[in-house]
Amino acid sequence: MWWKNKKGISTLVLILCVGLISALAVGQVYDRSETLYVSGAAWGPASTWNPFQPGNLANTTGTLGLVYETLFNYDPLTNTMIPWLAESGAWVTDSSYEVTLRNGLTWSDGTPLTAEDVAFTMNLAKEYDALWFAPMWNYVLSVISIGDYVVRFDFTDAPLYQEFDNNLYNIPIVPKHIWETKTEEDITIGANANPIGSGAYLYDTHASDRNVWLRNDSWWAIDALGLTPAPKRIVDIRFSSNNVALGSVIKGEVDLSNNFLPGVAGLSDQGIVSTYYKGAPYMLSANTAVLFLNTTIAPMDDAAFRKALAYAINVDDIVNIAYAKLVAAASPTGLLPSLSDFADQDVVAQLGWSYDPAMAKQILADAGYVDVDGDGYVEAPDGSAIALEVTCPSGWTDWMAAIAVISDSCKAAGINLEDVTPDYGAWNTQMQTGTFNMTLNNWAAMSNTPWTLYNLLFRHPIQAQMQSGNFGRYDSQELFDLVDALAAIQTTDIAGMKAACSEIQKVMLAEVPMIPLWYNGMWAQFSTSTWTNWPLDGANTPSRLPTTWSGYWQLGGLMMLCELELAE
């Protein structure tokens, strides 16, 4: 028998090996000059391509913006709405809005994209409360398509214009011919594998540590707008540690990293990586880190104490030490630089604050906070001891360093404040149930309207669980009315918006319900070894958000792709 002798076996092994060798082709690797490598958007393995699932979309960042598109795009740097799927949009009356779509829009399967798709998408939220934009239907009466190109929104007599404009560049339009047969569960929570959209890229493949997007060469905007994204492929990589991300961008293996990497300031100065600004703060500002104060607990229920805190915190140390100059100090109004037009500088000059420990001590003393027992920390006016905690999630190293600074500078001013870092879950629960003293939060995304920030800061009504804002439960009907008034102002009425914001700021800066501290950066460090013409500050350079974060492609990320050039 042939298998009984060694020769037979080795012959068999040889045959198997040869068979295996010939079965495996040589293989294909992505052409470096056609591929853009990015990282920093995803924090976990890809799990959903459902554009209505904002929670996990960061892990497949291209789903919203590259695959599915919105009616408008928005450019925060110039504060303009850019017609996208829509050619134009206008308020026909105070309670009726009409969108006209572009001609020649198509889905990536070749089907035309029409007004019916838009109306269908909007009506999904009327039917299913679980979709995030369902609250729009509190003030929308109907959305209908008129012909192939016109969509009309009819409103109640009290539309929230500010939120509606925000929705125009955030609601992804989905194809009716595919989604109309889906069940409720598929629409609201389904994973939507192999997504069919209208955008510049198509889903190519994914693994637990990467997502790959392939350019859609029949994208409507190539003809209509003359835009072509430069990279044929985008490989979005998830690194599990920062040092790997940093190493990869230094070596030029990753072109754009949107991770927060401590120490980038020095690397940028030496020209090893590039950043949007040449000097501090190096990064564009993306959102405001706000110190929420639990106003249901003494002494944070006392405006004087809160104001003393605002003076006591050394924001410069947070910027220079905790962040090594990668962020900028925030305006007391909390409004991002892109919305600084809405910050009333007179109010800021009159009521604003800056780091001044002497002033903090003075305010405390005047309000009756004195060190009675001589331990170096003040006691409350009624003589009871003050021992407070400031929190952030464990493992968020930049915030951990920041609350250490907050604790140190408050102690220096005589306020006994310890920094504590619970697990993310515990932190989140404390925040939403109001069982914290002070905590950091930055959940207001970059926006076309200051209302987005105020909706986070002054979320109302006050409930047992505050899930998405006003964690400190600051209860002021006056302020709530002002925020509601702002929400109902037309976004074209800039003067009216400014006046409303000014009123809000007067109360906010006098009462200090919470303390805006610094602007978290739109972390972006890029390598110019393969791709150039990155967004940079200055004339004759592209001014875009250099980001791949989910929800930011339509805020400039996509334009960045179209403007990239291959390095010589």
Partner 1 sequence: MRRYFSRKLLIYLITFFLAVTIDWLIPRLMPGDPIQNMLSRAALNANAAETMHTYYTHAFQLDLPVWQQYLSFWNALFHGDLGISTYLFPTPVAKVIKDAVPYDIFLLLPSILLSWWAGNKFGAFAARTKRLDNTVLPIAYLLTATPYMWLGILLAWVFGIILGWFPIAGAYSFTMGTQLTWVFVGSVLKHWFLPFASLFLVGFGGWAIGMRNMIIYELEADYSHYLEALGAPRRLIRRYAFRNAILPQLSGLALQLGVIVAGALVTEVVFSYPGIGYLILSAIQNQDYFLVQGCFLFIIIGVLLANFLIDIAYVIVDPRTRKGMVGE
Q: Which of residues 295-354 bind partner 1 (CB under 8 A)?
A: none
**Using CB under 8 A, which of 91, 149, 277, 443 touches partner 1?**
443
**188 or 505: whose CB is closer to partner 1?**
188
- Of 109, 127, 129, 565, which lies in the binding site for partner 1, with binding defined by CB under 8 A? 129
Q: What is the distance between the alpha carbons of residues 64 and 203, in angstroms, rounded to a whole number?
A: 12
CB of 44 to partner 1, least distance (A): 6
C-alpha dihedral over 504, 507, 509, 514, to 10 degrees? -90
Question: How far is 477 from 466, CA to CA, in rounded Å?
Answer: 16
| Structure tokens belonging to residue 304 | 């004087």
Q: Counting contacts by CB under 8 A, is residue 132 touching partner 1?
A: yes
Query: Which candidate, 282, 260, 281, 286, places its Cα nearest to that of 271?
Result: 282
The interface region with partner 1, picked from 112-120, 202-210, 316-324, 558-566 by CB under 8 A, is 202-210
Q: Find the shortest distance in angstroms from Cβ 187 to partner 1.
A: 12
Span interacting with partner 1, options 143-151, 426-434, 523-531, 533-541, rule CB under 8 A = 426-434
Using CB under 8 A, pick the residue from 82, 134, 141, 412 that binds partner 1: 134
Q: How many CB atoms lie within 10 A of CB 324?
A: 17
Q: Cα-Cα-Cα-Cα dihedral of 506, 287, 538, 83, to 10°?
A: -90
Q: Closest CB to partner 1 among 350 and 424?
A: 424
Instruction: Give the number of other Cβ atoms within 10 Å of residue 504's Cβ.
Output: 25
Among 1, 23, 349, 358, binds partner 1 (CB under 8 A): 23
* Distance separating alpha carbons of residues 242 and 262, to the nearest angstrom: 9
Q: Residue 292 CB, nearest distance to partner 1 (Å)?
A: 14
How far is CA 191 from its chain centroid? 22
3-class DSSP state of 20:
helix
Query: What track of x and - describes contact with partner 1 for positions 224 through 263 (by CB under 8 A)?
Result: -----------x-xxxxx-xx--xx----x----------
Token digits of residue 554: 């339509």
Task: Considering only residues 390 through 409, tell me which ones interact with partner 1, judged by CB under 8 A.
Answer: 395
- CA-only gyration radius of the chain, Å: 27
To the nearest whole angstrom, how small is the minimum distance from the Cβ of residue 30 to partner 1? Answer: 5
Residue 19 binds partner 1 (CB under 8 A): no
Q: How far apart are CA 286 and CA 451, in angstroms?
A: 16
Identify which of residues 355 and 474 has a Cβ nearer to partner 1 in the complex.
474
Within 446-475, which residues bind partner 1 (CB under 8 A)?
455-456, 459, 463, 465, 467-469
Closest alpha carbon to 37 in 508, 527, 544, 560? 527
Candidates 100, 106, 428, 502: give the one binding partner 1 (CB under 8 A): 428
Q: In whole angstroms, how close is the CB of 503 to partner 1 at the nearest point? A: 21
Query: Is residue 389 close enough to count as binding partner 1 by CB under 8 A?
Result: no
Instruction: Please list, residue by residue across 45-60, b when 16 or more beta carbons sit within 10 angstroms of its beta carbon and e when fewer do.
Output: ebebbbbbbeebbbbb
Query: In the stretch 136-175, what mask flags binding to partner 1 with x, by CB under 8 A?
Result: --x------------------------x------------
* Residues facing residue 288 across a β-bridge: 519
Indicate whether 33 belongs to the interface with partner 1 (CB under 8 A). Answer: no
Position among 5, 103, 142, 208 found at the interface with partner 1 (CB under 8 A): 208
Residue 256, φ and ψ in degrees, nearest 5: -140, 120
- Judged by CB under 8 A, which of 90, 146, 207, 385 binds partner 1? 207
DSSP 324: T
CB 221 within 8 A of CB 200: yes
CB of 129 to partner 1, least distance (A): 5
Q: Does 205 bind partner 1 (CB under 8 A)?
A: yes
The pair of three-digit structure tokens given for residue 35, joined into one six-digit string: 């591929």
The span from the CA of 510 to the CA of 500, in Å, is: 16
Q: Other CB atoms closer than 10 Å to residue 296's CB: what's the count?
A: 14
* Cβ 76 to partner 1 shortest distance, Å: 16
Given 8, 19, 55, 383, the residue binding partner 1 (CB under 8 A): 55
Instruction: Tell me how far apart the alpha carbons of residues 553 and 67 are, in angstroms, rounded to a whole number.
Output: 10
The count of residues interacting with partner 1 (CB under 8 A) is 73
The minimum distance between CB 334 and partner 1, in angstroms, equals: 16
In this complex, which beta carbon is closest to partner 1, that of residue 72 or of residue 305?
72
